[in-house]
Structure 1
């Protein structure tokens, strides 16, 4: 079960002249390498929800992606591409000498993990795709379906504010808040690591790559679709998703059908963060998969 743990090592890695701050828990060659969501979020929420895997003999490594947390925060928007982040992941893996890893990607980190797996298949033991998608146009359709549950008048109001660029209007923000509590985290009180990450969100990478909020995709990833290529990812893969996830079970099913060796688990009482919303169900599934399939 998750708990906040101080890292055993905090190390700076230089990538293309920028400082990337990494965090390592535990020791050994069996490494769980975590790529968190956002884009633009510090790694706190994913780092602190997965560092407990040290209890099962794994070394857990996470890092603040460029533009986030304690890493450098340049303002050059040309840096915010999935291709550059793939190079960053590999540079960190090489600098820390991690060898073949169990790669965990959550949300945006899942998109990044899929790109990384296609680019560096030799670096993986297993792939764990948590609350993510591989077809953004399909996801956009799913998000429209979730928004529709607010009612036609509310959706029309949201579309008007999106057209006029008045996304900071209180009525628009109220609708986004409802969607977030339905589909991002269904807990009444969001855990401290989640709040820390959200309170330090760098909107530069987020708006450039995704858009202004979780339910409006207009960034440079909006046409991204790797479903046709996922047959090339041959390592054992675990896909996890919450029943109420903004990146829906339908998104997860598309990935499962595209992958040659994938398992899928849906958590019925969770949305986008089962490791916090339903930890008693989530962690046994993750640990069981790693023990059964992690000898590659």
Structure 2
């Protein structure tokens, strides 16, 4: 079960003239390399949910992506591309001498993990895609379906504010808050690591790449689709999501059908963070998958 653990090591890595900070827990050759969501979030929420894997003999590594947390925060919007973040991820892996890793990507970190796996297949033992998608246009249709559950008047109100650019209006924010509690984290009180990451969100990368909120995709990834490329990922893949996930089970199924060697688990009482919402179900699934491929090539 998750708990907050102090990292054994804190590393500062230079990436194209910028400082990126990484955190390492435990030791050994079995490395779980975590790519957190956002974009623009510090890694706290994902790091704290997975550092407990050291109890099973894994080394866990996470890092604050450029623009987040303790890493440098440049304001050049041209830096916020998935291609640059793929290169950054590889720089961190090489700098820390991680070798082949179990790559775990959550949400936006899953998009990054997919592009990384396609670019650096030699670096992976396994791929773990959590609460994520491989087809952004398909996700947009799913998000419209989730929004529709608020009722036609509320959807019309949201569309009006989106058209007018008045996204800070209280009624629009109220609708987003409802969606967040339905589809991002269904806990009445969100865990401290989640709050810590959200309170330090850098909206620069987020708005450039995704959009103004979790339910409106207008950034430079809006047309991103890797489903046609997924058959090239031949390592074992674990896909997980929550029944009520904003990145829906239909999105997860779309990935599973395209991958040669994939398992999919949907957690019935979770939305976007099963590791916090349903830990008793989540950790056995993850540990079983990792255990099956421990010591893999």
With normalisation by structure 2, the TM-score equals 0.99
Aligned to 1:257: 257
Aligned to 1:239: 239
> What pairs up with 1:47-86 in 2 under 5 angstroms?
47-86=47-86
d(CA) in 2 for partners of 1:235 and 1:52? 24
Aligned to 1:145: 145
Deviations 1:201-235 (A, max 9, x none): 00000000000000000000000000000000000
Shift of 1:29: 1.0
SS in 2 for 1:269: coil
Shift of 1:130: 0.2
Aligned to 1:191: 191
Aligned to 1:293: 293
> What pairs up with 1:171-250 in 2 under 5 angstroms?
171-250=171-250
d(CA) in 2 for partners of 1:245 and 1:237? 19
The answer for unaligned runs of 5 or more in structure 2 is none
d(CA) in 1 for partners of 2:292 and 2:123? 19
d(CA) in 2 for partners of 1:283 and 1:18? 35
d(CA) in 1 for partners of 2:194 and 2:98? 26
SS in 2 for 1:84: helix
d(CA) in 2 for partners of 1:234 and 1:55? 29
The answer for unaligned runs of 5 or more in structure 1 is none
d(CA) in 2 for partners of 1:91 and 1:107? 21
d(CA) in 2 for partners of 1:234 and 1:20? 30
Deviations 1:243-280 (A, max 9, x none): 00000000000000000000000000000000000000
Shift of 1:293: 2.3
SS in 2 for 1:198: helix
Following TM superposition, where does structure 1 have runs of at least 4 consecutive aligned residues deviating by more than 6 angstroms? none
CA RMSD of superposed structures (Å)? 0.4
Q: Does 1:109 align with 2:99?
A: no
Aligned to 1:17: 17
